[in-house]
């Protein structure tokens, strides 16, 4: 397996997973991974809805860290377990998010846009009373806003997350259709020395391509981008390292010969 580090994982410490962390670790070992980085959700000011109760994505970090430390000791020599977090970025939560990121000695921080102007694109309401293209563009513009405002992350997660849940997924979506905004996004990331994530989660949800799509990956590399982590976005053991062969093919097609793993917020490059 060309990619042996899964750097986007959720266990029962995340509000949308019921998987015991130890079950995830055992499956990662069985899948042939040498590194797993748990990136439990922490979304401050996530909107309260009928579907999502209050504080569902607020992480009990002490409990998470205790569980991880226990498993690191138990499985030492079998797999490297890293301490990560996936921060939901919203301009309104700038101060508490930035303070939180400095409060723990994380190995790795993913910055993600799960909420766009008060609504998670996961919900159909985000696409109501407008075209799919208008909804996608608003999401990408909010990503750019977050990239410019925040610096407390190492890579930006699933840049085109919105297409995972759009009415037609990525059927009518392409880099070219949003070239202007992606140019700004990629230039801003490179200027701030931040990386991006190749996320295979959308493939399990019916997308044709990885996140972000191959054209975005190619353009990031053309602009001089080098930092790309790989994550399955697994919320259950069976999805760990899912479609990693596809991820490696996409990286190579985009011009990458290495992928990235962060430990103590420092990137290391692993050959594909």
Query: Which positions of the chain have pLDDT values less than 50?
Result: none
Contact, 64 vs 35, CB < 8 A? no
* CA distance linking residue 65 with residue 42, whole number of Å: 14
- What's the pLDDT score for residue 91? 96
Q: What distance lies between CA 141 and its chain's CA centroid?
A: 18
User: Structural domain tally of the chain?
Assistant: 1
All residues at 6 or more sequence positions from 125 whose CB lies less than 8 Å from its CB, including other chains:
119
- CATH number of domain containing 121: 3.20.20.140
The separation between CA 255 and the C-alpha centre of its own chain, rounded to angstroms, equals 21
Instruction: Give the residue among 63, 67, 100 at the shortest CA–CA distance from 81.
Output: 67
pLDDT tens digits for 37-75?
999 999 998 987 666 666 789 999 999 999 999 999 999
Residue 53 has what pLDDT? 64
Q: Which domain covers residue 95, as residue numbers? A: 5-271
């Amino acid at each position: 397996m060309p990619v042996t580090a899964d750097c986007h994982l959720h266990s029962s410490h995340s509000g949308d997973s019921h998987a015991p962390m130890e079950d995830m670790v055992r499956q990662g070992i069985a899948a042939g991974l040498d590194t797993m980085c748990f990136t439990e959700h922490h979304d401050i000011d996530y909107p309260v809805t009928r579907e999502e109760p209050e504080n569902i994505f607020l992480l009990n970090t002490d409990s998470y860290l205790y569980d991880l430390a226990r498993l690191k000791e138990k499985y030492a020599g079998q797999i490297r377990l890293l301490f990560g977090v996936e921060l939901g970025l919203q301009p309104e939560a700038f101060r508490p998010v930035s303070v939180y990121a400095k409060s723990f000695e994380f190995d790795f921080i993913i910055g993600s846009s799960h909420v766009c102007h008060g609504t998670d694109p996961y919900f159909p309401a985000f696409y109501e009373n407008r075209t799919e293209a208008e909804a996608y563009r608003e999401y990408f513009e909010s990503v750019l806003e977050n990239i410019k405002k925040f610096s407390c992350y190492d890579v930006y997660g699933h840049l085109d997350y919105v297409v995972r849940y759009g009415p037609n997924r990525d059927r009518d979506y392409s880099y070219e259709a949003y070239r202007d905004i992606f140019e700004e996004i990629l230039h801003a990331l490179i200027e701030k020395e931040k990386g991006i994530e190749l996320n295979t989660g959308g493939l399990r949800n019916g997308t044709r391509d990885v996140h972000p799509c191959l054209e975005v990956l190619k353009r990031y590399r053309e602009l001089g981008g080098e930092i790309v982590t790989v994550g399955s976005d697994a919320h259950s053991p069976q999805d760990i390292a899912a479609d990693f062969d596809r991820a490696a093919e996409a990286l190579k097609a985009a011009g990458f010969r290495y992928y990235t793993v962060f430990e103590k917020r420092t990137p290391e490059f692993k050959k594909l």
